[in-house]
Amino acid sequence: MNKLLEGKSVVVTGAGRGLGEAFAVHLAQAGASVVVNDVDVALADQVVANIRAHGGRAVASGHSVADAEQAQAIVDLCLAEFGAVDGLVNNAGLNYEALPWEEDPAQVREIVEVNVLGVIYTGMAAAAAMRAGGGGSIVNISSGASLGQRKLGTYAATKGAVASLTYSWALDLEDAGIRVNAVCPLAHTRMVWKSERSLRNCPPDRTPSRIAPLVLFLLGEGSAGITGQLIRCNGPQLHLVGQPFLKAPILERQVWDTESVQRAFDEVFSAHLEPYGLEKRVPPRLRKWTEAPPRSA
């Protein structure tokens, strides 16, 4: 196998199972020294043993990404063991389904702490180490759910935050030689087993290892010049995800009062309303134009 990451050191968070495990194993096979992080440290230990049994270099970390000091400790471990941090895969994440009125505040806080703060904390620590070392590559794991999905509002919001962070940090870190991209995966893992809808969209042959080559590519030299991108892979399909933009027509007047806003919507924006969510639902005001009328008897 081509050793694309020979001599490189990479941190993979949430790598005790699922996608993170596949990423860690794949990156180690490509020659990287890997910090295999997971709060479930027994699983991280097993992944490390597997990598070492196949001649790779890896060390386990049981730190939680949701705590700033522990996130720093993950990066420090990589520096202490391998002397540098060249790559970070911000993969650790939680997910659950709930309708807005069913949400439990403690669960909301927990998912935001892991999926948003965890990515920021680990990214902050890694970016500082990469900057000192002359550059690197960060791959954040977002989700197609960031486009909006039923019963996944809070999860979608955390993954949308990861997308926004990716575009922003790509701008901030370019001069430091650090690239920041995000991957929206779909793979048969425990996250999918929990949801009937996800299981329908994700049969068992969509294994996590089918996403790993994309992550390896984004960490390697072959992706030089590619930053600020959101890339989706669901197994067979690989594509870029378009980014939100300021949409024309942009109407101008000195002051917008409620009456002129009403007229702007009635006369102009009604025809430009966006279909919303991953399912591209047409807003009610447009539906009468897009849906076939019921057939008369």
Ligand X SMILES: NC(=O)c1ccc[n+]([C@@H]2O[C@H](COP(=O)([O-])OP(=O)(O)OC[C@H]3O[C@@H](n4cnc5c(N)ncnc54)[C@H](O)[C@@H]3O)[C@@H](O)[C@H]2O)c1
| Among 60, 192, 212, 218, interactor with ligand X by CB under 6 A | 192
What Å distances lie between residue 30 and 46, 77, 92, 148, 213, CA to CA? 19, 21, 21, 35, 10
Size of the site for ligand X (CB under 6 A): 31
Using the rule CB under 6 A, is 9 a contact of ligand X?
no
- Name the helix (H) or strand (E) containing 57: strand 57-61
The DSSP output letter for 97 is -
Q: Which residues from 243-262 bind ligand X, rule CB under 6 A? A: none
**Beta-carbon neighbour count of residue 50 at 10 Å?**
16
| Among 10, 11, 12, 17, interactor with ligand X by CB under 6 A | 17
Given the complex with ligand X, which of 136 and 185 has the nearer CB atom?
Answer: 185
Active site residue 96: no
Q: How far is the CB of 146 from ligand X (least distance, A)?
A: 9
What is the separation of C-alpha 268 from the centre of its chain, rounded to a whole number of angstroms? Answer: 35
Interface stretch with ligand X, choices 49-57, 164-172, 180-188, 244-252 (CB under 6 A): 180-188
Q: Which residues from 39-98 bind ligand X, rule CB under 6 A? A: 39-40, 64-66, 91-95
**Beta-carbon neighbour count of residue 44 at 10 Å?**
28
Residue 252 φ then ψ, to 5°: -125, 135
Is residue 131 classed exposed, middle or buried when 0-12, 13-18 and 19+ CB atoms within 10 A define those classes?
middle
Contacting positions for ligand X (CB under 6 A) = 13-14, 16-20, 37-40, 64-66, 91-95, 114, 118, 141, 143, 185-187, 189-192, 202
The residues carrying an active-site annotation are 155
